[in-house]
Amino acid sequence: MKIFSTEHLIVIAITLLLCIFVPIVIRKKTNWHVGFRYGFGTLLLVNIVVYQIYRWKTGYWGADQDLPLHLCAWANVITAFALFSKNNTLAAIAWCWVMMGSINGLITPQLDNPFPEIPYIYFVIGHSGLMIAVSTLVYGLKIKPQPRAWIKVVAFSQVYFFAALLVNYLTHANYGYLDPHNEFRKQTILALFPAEGPWFHFAIQGVGAILFGIALLPFVIERGVIAKKESSL
Protein backbone atom coordinates (compact mmCIF):
# COMPACT_ATOMS: atom_id res chain seq x y z
CA MET A 1 0.00 0.00 0.00
CA LYS A 2 1.70 3.16 -1.21
CA ILE A 3 1.29 6.21 0.95
CA PHE A 4 -1.53 8.49 -0.24
CA SER A 5 -2.32 6.23 -3.18
CA THR A 6 -5.98 5.81 -4.16
CA GLU A 7 -6.06 2.53 -2.23
CA HIS A 8 -4.55 4.17 0.85
CA LEU A 9 -7.00 7.08 0.78
CA ILE A 10 -9.93 4.67 0.41
CA VAL A 11 -8.76 2.69 3.45
CA ILE A 12 -8.47 5.92 5.48
CA ALA A 13 -11.93 7.11 4.35
CA ILE A 14 -13.61 3.78 5.18
CA THR A 15 -11.84 3.70 8.55
CA LEU A 16 -13.07 7.16 9.50
CA LEU A 17 -16.63 6.37 8.41
CA LEU A 18 -16.68 3.15 10.44
CA CYS A 19 -15.23 5.00 13.47
CA ILE A 20 -18.41 7.10 13.38
CA PHE A 21 -20.97 4.53 12.20
CA VAL A 22 -20.07 1.52 14.38
CA PRO A 23 -20.22 3.40 17.74
CA ILE A 24 -23.65 4.79 16.78
CA VAL A 25 -24.97 1.32 15.94
CA ILE A 26 -23.50 -0.30 19.07
CA ARG A 27 -24.91 2.45 21.28
CA LYS A 28 -28.40 1.73 19.96
CA LYS A 29 -28.08 -2.07 19.87
CA THR A 30 -27.42 -2.73 23.56
CA ASN A 31 -27.96 -6.46 23.05
CA TRP A 32 -24.88 -6.47 20.79
CA HIS A 33 -22.54 -5.11 23.47
CA VAL A 34 -21.23 -8.40 24.84
CA GLY A 35 -20.78 -9.91 21.39
CA PHE A 36 -18.92 -6.85 20.14
CA ARG A 37 -16.67 -6.64 23.19
CA TYR A 38 -15.53 -10.24 23.11
CA GLY A 39 -15.65 -10.64 19.34
CA PHE A 40 -13.62 -7.56 18.47
CA GLY A 41 -11.26 -8.02 21.40
CA THR A 42 -10.53 -11.58 20.31
CA LEU A 43 -10.02 -10.42 16.73
CA LEU A 44 -7.32 -7.94 17.81
CA LEU A 45 -5.44 -10.62 19.76
CA VAL A 46 -5.81 -13.38 17.14
CA ASN A 47 -4.54 -10.97 14.49
CA ILE A 48 -1.24 -10.63 16.37
CA VAL A 49 -0.90 -14.39 16.89
CA VAL A 50 -1.66 -15.22 13.25
CA TYR A 51 0.93 -12.74 12.03
CA GLN A 52 3.57 -14.18 14.36
CA ILE A 53 2.82 -17.70 13.07
CA TYR A 54 2.95 -16.44 9.47
CA ARG A 55 6.36 -14.84 9.96
CA TRP A 56 7.67 -17.97 11.67
CA LYS A 57 6.32 -20.38 9.05
CA THR A 58 7.70 -18.34 6.15
CA GLY A 59 11.14 -18.19 7.76
CA TYR A 60 11.21 -14.42 8.06
CA TRP A 61 10.69 -14.11 11.80
CA GLY A 62 13.41 -12.21 13.64
CA ALA A 63 13.65 -10.78 17.15
CA ASP A 64 14.86 -7.48 15.72
CA GLN A 65 11.65 -6.83 13.81
CA ASP A 66 8.84 -9.25 14.65
CA LEU A 67 8.38 -9.12 18.41
CA PRO A 68 5.02 -7.47 19.20
CA LEU A 69 6.78 -4.46 20.68
CA HIS A 70 5.67 -1.59 18.50
CA LEU A 71 3.20 0.71 20.23
CA CYS A 72 0.39 -0.40 17.90
CA ALA A 73 0.83 -4.03 19.01
CA TRP A 74 0.62 -3.01 22.67
CA ALA A 75 -2.37 -0.81 21.84
CA ASN A 76 -4.12 -3.83 20.30
CA VAL A 77 -3.58 -5.85 23.47
CA ILE A 78 -4.63 -3.03 25.81
CA THR A 79 -7.73 -2.32 23.72
CA ALA A 80 -8.67 -6.00 23.71
CA PHE A 81 -8.43 -6.23 27.49
CA ALA A 82 -10.30 -2.94 27.87
CA LEU A 83 -13.11 -4.47 25.81
CA PHE A 84 -13.07 -7.67 27.86
CA SER A 85 -12.96 -5.96 31.26
CA LYS A 86 -14.75 -2.64 30.60
CA ASN A 87 -11.96 -1.03 32.63
CA ASN A 88 -11.84 2.77 32.38
CA THR A 89 -8.08 3.02 32.94
CA LEU A 90 -7.34 0.55 30.14
CA ALA A 91 -9.82 2.44 27.97
CA ALA A 92 -7.95 5.69 28.64
CA ILE A 93 -4.58 4.12 27.74
CA ALA A 94 -6.05 2.56 24.60
CA TRP A 95 -7.67 5.85 23.56
CA CYS A 96 -4.49 7.89 23.98
CA TRP A 97 -2.18 5.37 22.32
CA VAL A 98 -4.50 4.88 19.36
CA MET A 99 -5.54 8.50 18.83
CA MET A 100 -2.00 9.85 19.18
CA GLY A 101 0.03 6.88 17.92
CA SER A 102 -1.73 4.29 15.81
CA ILE A 103 -3.35 6.94 13.61
CA ASN A 104 0.14 7.94 12.49
CA GLY A 105 0.75 4.32 11.44
CA LEU A 106 -2.36 4.38 9.26
CA ILE A 107 -1.38 7.68 7.67
CA THR A 108 2.20 6.55 6.97
CA PRO A 109 1.91 2.80 6.19
CA GLN A 110 5.09 0.73 5.93
CA LEU A 111 3.55 -2.03 3.82
CA ASP A 112 4.67 -3.64 0.57
CA ASN A 113 2.28 -6.60 0.57
CA PRO A 114 -0.95 -6.39 -1.46
CA PHE A 115 -4.39 -7.59 -0.39
CA PRO A 116 -5.21 -10.35 0.58
CA GLU A 117 -1.76 -11.33 1.89
CA ILE A 118 -1.52 -11.80 5.66
CA PRO A 119 0.74 -8.76 6.32
CA TYR A 120 -1.86 -6.56 4.58
CA ILE A 121 -4.73 -7.97 6.65
CA TYR A 122 -2.60 -7.72 9.80
CA PHE A 123 -1.92 -4.06 9.10
CA VAL A 124 -5.54 -3.14 8.39
CA ILE A 125 -6.92 -4.94 11.46
CA GLY A 126 -4.07 -3.69 13.64
CA HIS A 127 -4.60 -0.06 12.62
CA SER A 128 -8.01 0.56 11.04
CA GLY A 129 -9.68 -2.14 13.13
CA LEU A 130 -7.96 -0.82 16.22
CA MET A 131 -9.27 2.70 15.61
CA ILE A 132 -12.80 1.38 15.10
CA ALA A 133 -12.54 -0.73 18.25
CA VAL A 134 -11.32 2.08 20.52
CA SER A 135 -13.84 4.57 19.11
CA THR A 136 -16.64 2.12 19.81
CA LEU A 137 -15.19 1.30 23.23
CA VAL A 138 -15.36 4.94 24.29
CA TYR A 139 -18.37 6.32 22.41
CA GLY A 140 -20.42 3.21 21.69
CA LEU A 141 -19.98 1.33 24.95
CA LYS A 142 -19.37 4.57 26.90
CA ILE A 143 -16.32 3.20 28.73
CA LYS A 144 -14.67 6.58 28.99
CA PRO A 145 -11.50 7.93 30.63
CA GLN A 146 -12.11 9.19 34.15
CA PRO A 147 -10.46 11.94 36.27
CA ARG A 148 -6.68 11.48 36.74
CA ALA A 149 -6.58 9.36 33.59
CA TRP A 150 -3.71 11.47 32.22
CA ILE A 151 -1.42 10.55 35.12
CA LYS A 152 -2.20 6.87 34.68
CA VAL A 153 -1.65 6.96 30.92
CA VAL A 154 1.69 8.75 31.22
CA ALA A 155 2.81 6.37 33.98
CA PHE A 156 1.87 3.22 32.08
CA SER A 157 3.46 4.59 28.92
CA GLN A 158 6.80 4.53 30.75
CA VAL A 159 6.48 0.75 30.95
CA TYR A 160 6.26 0.57 27.17
CA PHE A 161 8.97 3.17 26.65
CA PHE A 162 11.61 1.46 28.76
CA ALA A 163 10.62 -2.04 27.59
CA ALA A 164 11.11 -0.94 23.98
CA LEU A 165 14.42 0.74 24.80
CA LEU A 166 15.69 -2.40 26.55
CA VAL A 167 14.69 -4.75 23.74
CA ASN A 168 16.11 -2.34 21.16
CA TYR A 169 19.41 -2.40 23.02
CA LEU A 170 19.45 -6.21 23.22
CA THR A 171 18.32 -6.93 19.65
CA HIS A 172 19.52 -3.83 17.76
CA ALA A 173 15.90 -3.25 16.74
CA ASN A 174 13.89 -0.04 16.44
CA TYR A 175 10.67 -0.85 18.27
CA GLY A 176 8.64 2.26 18.96
CA TYR A 177 10.82 4.04 16.38
CA LEU A 178 13.01 5.20 19.25
CA ASP A 179 16.21 5.18 17.21
CA PRO A 180 16.84 8.87 16.43
CA HIS A 181 18.85 7.98 13.33
CA ASN A 182 16.28 5.73 11.66
CA GLU A 183 15.12 6.98 8.26
CA PHE A 184 11.46 6.33 9.02
CA ARG A 185 11.69 9.04 11.69
CA LYS A 186 11.75 11.65 8.91
CA GLN A 187 8.23 10.62 7.82
CA THR A 188 6.68 11.08 11.25
CA ILE A 189 6.30 13.68 13.97
CA LEU A 190 9.60 12.37 15.36
CA ALA A 191 11.34 14.39 12.64
CA LEU A 192 10.67 17.48 14.74
CA PHE A 193 12.90 16.21 17.55
CA PRO A 194 16.68 16.66 17.78
CA ALA A 195 18.50 13.43 16.90
CA GLU A 196 21.59 13.79 19.04
CA GLY A 197 22.09 13.06 22.73
CA PRO A 198 19.43 12.12 25.28
CA TRP A 199 17.25 15.05 24.25
CA PHE A 200 15.55 12.95 21.56
CA HIS A 201 14.06 10.58 24.12
CA PHE A 202 13.26 13.37 26.56
CA ALA A 203 11.45 15.17 23.74
CA ILE A 204 9.44 12.04 22.90
CA GLN A 205 8.38 11.76 26.52
CA GLY A 206 7.40 15.41 26.79
CA VAL A 207 5.52 15.62 23.50
CA GLY A 208 3.83 12.30 24.23
CA ALA A 209 2.55 13.61 27.56
CA ILE A 210 1.23 16.75 25.86
CA LEU A 211 -0.50 14.74 23.13
CA PHE A 212 -2.11 12.46 25.71
CA GLY A 213 -3.46 15.55 27.44
CA ILE A 214 -4.93 16.77 24.16
CA ALA A 215 -6.48 13.35 23.50
CA LEU A 216 -8.15 13.40 26.93
CA LEU A 217 -9.30 17.02 26.75
CA PRO A 218 -12.74 16.25 25.22
CA PHE A 219 -13.60 14.10 28.23
CA VAL A 220 -12.45 16.79 30.67
CA ILE A 221 -14.68 19.30 28.87
CA GLU A 222 -17.57 16.84 28.82
CA ARG A 223 -17.31 16.25 32.58
CA GLY A 224 -17.19 19.99 33.16
CA VAL A 225 -20.32 20.59 31.10
CA ILE A 226 -22.19 17.80 32.91
CA ALA A 227 -21.10 19.13 36.32
CA LYS A 228 -22.23 22.64 35.39
CA LYS A 229 -25.64 21.37 34.29
CA GLU A 230 -26.08 19.38 37.48
CA SER A 231 -25.12 22.33 39.66
CA SER A 232 -27.67 24.56 37.92
CA LEU A 233 -30.56 22.19 38.65
Q: What percent of the chain has pLDDT over 90?
A: 69
The pLDDT tens digits of the residues spanning 96-136 come to 999 988 888 888 887 888 888 999 999 999 999 999 999 99
- Report the amino acid identity of residue 140: G
Place 69 in a pLDDT band, splitting at 50, 70 and 90: very high
The pLDDT of residue 189 is 63
The pLDDT tens digits of the residues spanning 167-208 come to 999 999 989 888 887 776 666 666 776 667 677 888 888 889
The pLDDT of residue 187 is 62
What is the rounded CA–CA span in Å between residue 100 and residue 15?
Answer: 16
**C-alpha pair distances (Å), 103 with each of 28, 176, 189:** 26, 14, 12
What is the rounded CA–CA span in Å between residue 37 and residue 1?
Answer: 29
The pLDDT of residue 199 is 77
Which letter, b or e, does each residue of 70-90 get, where b requires 16 or more Cβ atoms within 10 Å of its Cβ?
bbbbbbbbbbbbbbeeeebbb
The pLDDT of residue 165 is 92
For the chain, which residues make up each domain, given as ranges? Answer: 6-232
**C-alpha pair distances (Å), 130 with each of 98, 106, 206, 210, 211:** 7, 10, 25, 22, 19
Write down the mean pLDDT value for the chain: 90
Considering only CA atoms, which of 3, 1, 39, 12 is closest in space to residue 128? 12
The answer to whether the peptide bond before residue 116 is cis (omega within 30 degrees of 0) is yes
The pLDDT of residue 63 is 92
What is the rounded CA–CA span in Å between residue 111 and residue 142?
Answer: 33
